[in-house]
Structures are given as structure tokens and as C-alpha cells.
Structure 1
């Protein structure tokens, strides 16, 4: 993080959208760099001929682990230094290829006070430039209450009582 505070539980409303995170347009270089960093040498991420002819895919594929990273970045950017992304779950339902611009989004679906902190539930996802939802999911974050202590690091769910 950059040392900034994040969302405050008291300011969050059910139905509220959190700030989006836009990545792209993706290039084969982006995909290959991520594959190399993760040591994921599956050929569908860098070998166009293999991906299209052998696996019958439309192009090389954006890595699932990269999509996971983007979803966590979305939540981490929103909760800032004082909150915690507690639980995240999503499904890979769509393929993304070079040329795609992907937007991570989140919408508050629930909130509850839990001791000194607040717990916020969200629907989250990753859409392409055509609006196709390829990575739907849910998340639960813990946020500080106004005037309350920051969420401890590392976060222990037992503190929620």
C-alpha cells in the first residue's frame, strides 16, 4: 500500500459500488511476463500455435493467477492500510486474450458491526471491454469504524467475537 487510509465502515452503504480497477489492453508481453514471474510454463500462455491449433483456443490465454491478483488488488486498494480483505472467492467462467481490457469491480451487498470493527460483504467480478463477466465472485472485508482502531495485522478472525 502507499500509506493511505482506506474505507471506513460507517461510510459504507449497501448497494454502493467500490472504485473499479482497470487493466489493459492486455498484450502477449503482459501475459508472458506474468507466466515467467509465476513460473507457469503452460504453453497456452505464450505459444500461439499450440494454444490455437492444439488446444483449439482463440488465442493465448490471460493467466488465472493474474486474475486472482487483480481481484485482491481491487479489494486491497479499497480497504487501504486500515482494513483487511478477509475472504475472497470467485470462479473462472470466461477466457481473456490479448487485446482485452479488464475491469475489476465490487458492490456492497451487506454489512454488520462486529466489536470494534465492521464486516462488509461484496459481490465482485472481472469484466472485459464488452461487459462480459468472466470472473464472478464474492468477498468479505473487515473495516475500521470511525474513531476506532485499525484492523490488526495480521488479522485474526477470532477478534471479531
Structure 2
């Protein structure tokens, strides 16, 4: 792709049909065994969905891949935001598309602002949309790890904490309301980042660059070794073996063993476990994790709102602010996550 210009389309990323096998491979790479993604009867009869659905986190990876594939190994994915407008069903054909919305040049970096979406070929609908900011070095001498620190980002104001004077939604149960604004979770991974896990992750996302999965080839990249994909820290934590066994009840969700922050509100607040849906996310990538890094994460409950969905079912909308660091103090990723929790 040549020099970015306003309106320039990104090379399409055709992911093909995302079959049950693709989904199961992603569940293993993500270490998330939520049954709505591979158990069709559970998805329809227990979770109330039209069928098994493709993981929102996998679709988020596709948009990250679209943004970085267009600009080569020296680019830095600085910001990514996505909103899930409607579910994609297992077996459907997905294609990632986008274009350049703006180009902003500063002394140390050129920021390329992108509009992106996932197009469902079978339904002829855009089902996920989003934006991204990719940073390109101006002089070719800057290491990618240094770019975010050298770039002045006017979008930082979006991540300011909400005003303390903002009224709370009194329809939200009081035990949940009382936790708004506080840290509700902190996890340190039991295992460090492993090369084998990065290979599995790359296989599940499909067609990621060699510096994410091939140690020998990665040594000749600008990273001088293996680095994790930009969004990997979200899925980098793990529990000790046997710490959280999977449930065996017919309505068990399958998320019992997942090690992640800012998502498991059913267990934390006693809500129906089958009602969890990913509403979207906004991330900033500060550094890439490497093998032998140990990731830790914390979650602050930013806001909770009560809504009645289009189907008439009540739901709670959780907004969290999640931070991912290495245990030696390197900030990897900052995330704003929206989670929908259906109550019926």
C-alpha cells in the first residue's frame, strides 16, 4: 500500500467462512469455553440466541489485523475501537474492510485514522464497525515501541474518568451501584507468555505476520524477536490448573475457568450467567508483550446503566476500564469495555 491518503481503501481481509472448527480453535487460543460459540442447542435453547455465534473477541482481532496488514511491520496500532451491531453466526462468511478517514502529521509520527467494519457476506450486512489509529514513523529510525510516547494524542480526553457529579442510574441494583468508580478485580497470571501460546493464537486469527509466531524469522524483523499480537494481553492471564473447573450442569455457561478481568459480572454480582454479551471495546496499545512476560490486569467499574432491549428484555450495561501491565511495570494495554448483561 502506498502513502496513506484521505479516502484510500484498505486492502480487504477476506476471512472466509468461520466454521465450528475455527471457533473451537479460537476458544482454545483465547482460553474461553463459552458454549454459545460452539454448542448450537445451548445457544438456542438456554442462551436464547438464534444459533451459535462467532466470538466478538475474534472479530476484534480481525479488525486489528486489517489495520496493521495495510502498513507493514514498522506501523504501530495505537488505538482500536469496535462496536458489535449484530451477531454473526458460526458458518457465515466474514470480510474486513476499511478506508483512511484522516492523515495527521506530527514531528515524530504520522497518524493514519481509519474507519473499519466487518461485512457478513451471507447476510449482506455490516455487523461490526469500528475505528483505528495507526502510527507510522516519520524518519524510519524510530523503533515501533517508541512511537506512542512521541505522539500527541488529542483523543486522550476520551479516557478521562466520568464526572463525580454525573447521576447514577437508580434502576441499577444498589450493591452494584455502590461499586461504581472502584476497582473490582485484580489478577496476576499464573503462567508467563509462552511461544507455543502465541503460535496457537496466530493460527486461530489466521495469517498473522511471522514475528508473532516464528521465533527464527522474528529475529530479522524490527522487533528482533517474537512479540505478541497487539490485543493479546486481554487474553494473556491464566489460573493454576484445576483452580476453576468447568461446570457440569446442563445450563453451565462454560466460562467458569476463564481468567480475565472486566467481564464476569454474573459470578461477581449474582446475575444470570447466560445473559452475557460483548458490546464493544476501545483500546490503546502501549507496548507488545513478549515470551516470558507475566501479565497482570486490573478492572475499575466505570459505569452501569439499566436498559430495556429491543426485544423487551431488561439488561444492565457495564462499562469497565481495564489495564494490562507486565509484573515488572511495563504498561501494555488500556481498555474500555462494554458488556451487556441480559436479566431475563
Q: Give the TM-score normalised by the residue count of structure 1.
A: 0.86
Structure with the larger RCO, 1 or 2 (CA within 8 Å, 6+ apart): 1
Q: 1:63 to 1:152 in 2, by over 3 A?
A: same
**Structure number with bigger Rg:** 2
Give CA-to-partner distance per residue, 1:100-137, whole Å, 9 cap, x none: 11111111111111114211111111110033111111
Report the Cα offset of residue 144 of structure 1.
3.3
Cross-structure match for 1:77: 69
Report the Cα offset of residue 151 of structure 1.
4.7
Equivalent residues in 2 for 1:7-156, closer than 5 Å: 7=1, 11-129=3-121, 130-145=123-138, 148-156=139-147
* Contact 1:44 1:50 (8 Å CA) reproduced: yes
Q: 1:74 to 1:155 in 2, by over 3 A?
A: farther
Report the Cα offset of residue 155 of structure 1.
3.5
Q: How many residues in Structure 1 have an aligned counterpart in Structure 2?
A: 151
Q: Distance in 2 between matches of 1:96 and 1:123?
A: 20
Q: Distance in 2 between matches of 1:34 and 1:83?
A: 25
| Runs of 4+ displaced beyond 3 Å | none
Structure 1: tracts of 5 or more residues without a match: 1-6
Report the Cα offset of residue 153 of structure 1.
2.5
* Contact 2:40 2:52 (8 Å CA) reproduced: yes
- 1:160 equivalent among 135, 151, 157: 151
Structure 2: tracts of 5 or more residues without a match: 153-344
Report the Cα offset of residue 76 of structure 1.
1.6
Considering only aligned residues, what root-mean-square deviation do their CA atoms show, in Å? 1.7
State the SS of the aligned residue for 2:126.
Answer: coil
Report the Cα offset of residue 156 of structure 1.
4.0
Q: Distance in 2 between matches of 1:42 and 1:91?
A: 20
Q: Distance in 2 between matches of 1:128 and 1:80?
A: 26
Report the Cα offset of residue 59 of structure 1.
1.5
* Contact 1:84 1:151 (8 Å CA) reproduced: no
